[in-house]
Structure 1
Amino acid sequence: METLFTSTALVALAEMGDKTQLLAMLLAARYRRPVPIILGILGATLANHFLAALVGHSVAGLLKQPWFRYAVALSFIAMAAWTLVPDSIDGDAPLAAPSRAGLFVTTLVAFFLVEMGDKTQVATVALGARFGNILAVTAGTTLGMMIANVPAVLFGEALARRVPMRAMQFGAAALFLALGLYMIAQLTGLIA
């Protein structure tokens, strides 16, 4: 349960103001068809985050030395700093029309590609390394993405005006920092 809750909370907060959330808002504003957009986000996130959690778990399994655990802890602290840097999408760049496959496939492919190397994907790799349960990490990070993106699709611009994105970024940064410091405290024996 800790794995699911931690993964959900970290990714939901880290996604606030992220480029994939901005992409969700842009797609929703442009096409006004929430169901295929939401299903595309779900499919892309499940695939992307499962692979990221698998990579994190595989690397953690190979490298059980203390230095690697410190590296994972430091990656959470680095994520705290990265979370404070807001993402943006070029507002002047035109949105391409959906492919012949439709809005679902367009959203699926766009989200999968935009998520590559993104804060939430890197966080999922780190969570996969930290926790042994790949499915719980994938479920939690996917749930976190959906918590952040479904309202963005459904309420788009009205939500952006009401939610203080900077406060959400600070909240996400605080969670990443706390998890990193907690891991270091465990490794140094300050916490059992």
Structure 2
Amino acid sequence: MFETLLVSTGIVALAEIGDKTQLLALLLAARYRKPIPIIAGILIATLANHFLAASLGHQIAQLLSESTLLWLLAASFLAVAAWTLVPDKLDDDGQIAVKHGPFIATVIAFFIAEMGDKTQVATVMLAAQFEYFWMVIGGTTIGMLLANAPVVLVGNFAAERLPLKLIRTLAATGFLAFALYCAWQAFSL
């Protein structure tokens, strides 16, 4: 059970480094300068988004054979490994609607930004792989907060000093290892 939580946390925390939602967190922190409502908004948006993603992953696991699921997971982890190497950018020149306060703006912006994002795809895969549904949601949410809360709290100082290329390479290597492990398990069946 704790393996599910730890793997989910680690995968999402690494995948989130340099992601568009991390850039969004930096933008919101610079715009509003109110870290608590922004972090609370990230929490709510991530819980909602990753609940939907984990639900999809759980349903996929019920429909496919173990071998098919393992091959699908291996291919998905391989795709996410490659995707992780490509730096994200915010769409629309980094502009977000700021009519509402920091909490509402963060919930809406983060929920939308996570749709189809690599961390959402990772959540689908993790929920398909692990039987502990709530641990996947908890772990992926913790991973999002581990990657984004420091950006909100520290702002530009930390973001400019992180070796993002090295971190993306390490994260991609982790996803590649998961892909190889799933393929090895599929061959073993």
TM-score scaled to structure 2, two decimals? 0.95
Counterpart Cα distance in 1 of 2:94 and 2:135 = 37
Equivalenced residue count is 188
Give the secondary-structure state (helix, strand or coil) at the position aligned to 1:188: helix
Counterpart Cα distance in 2 of 1:123 and 1:134 = 13
Deviation at 1:90, TM superposition (A): 5.0
Deviations 1:4-30 (A, max 9, x none): 111101100000000000000000011
Provide closer, same or farther for how the CA distance between residues 157 and 54 of structure 1 changes in structure 2, counting only shifts above 3 A: same
| Partner of residue 63, structure 2 | 62
Letter in 2 for 1:177: L
Letter in 1 for 2:78: I
Give the secondary-structure state (helix, strand or coil) at the position aligned to 2:17: coil
| Partner of residue 155, structure 1 | 154
TM-score scaled to structure 1, two decimals? 0.93
Deviation at 1:92, TM superposition (A): 4.2
Letter in 2 for 1:50: F
Deviations 1:86-131 (A, max 9, x none): 10125845443232xx221111011001100001000100111111
Counterpart Cα distance in 2 of 1:178 and 1:116 = 25
| Partner of residue 24, structure 2 | 23
CA contact 2:42–2:106 (8 Å) conserved in 1: yes
| Partner of residue 9, structure 1 | 10
Report percent identity of matched pairs: 56
Deviations 1:16-68 (A, max 9, x none): 00000000000001110111100000000011111101110111111125223
1:38-117 pair list within 5 angstroms: 38-90=39-91, 92-99=93-100, 102-117=101-116
Counterpart Cα distance in 2 of 1:92 and 1:46 = 27
Give the secondary-structure state (helix, strand or coil) at the position aligned to 1:9: helix
Deviation at 1:73, TM superposition (A): 1.4
Give the secondary-structure state (helix, strand or coil) at the position aligned to 2:152: helix
Deviation at 1:168, TM superposition (A): 1.0
Aligned-residue Cα RMSD (Å) equals 1.5
Query: Structure 1: 5+ residue runs without aligned partners?
Result: none
Counterpart Cα distance in 1 of 2:152 and 2:105 = 15
| Partner of residue 168, structure 2 | 169
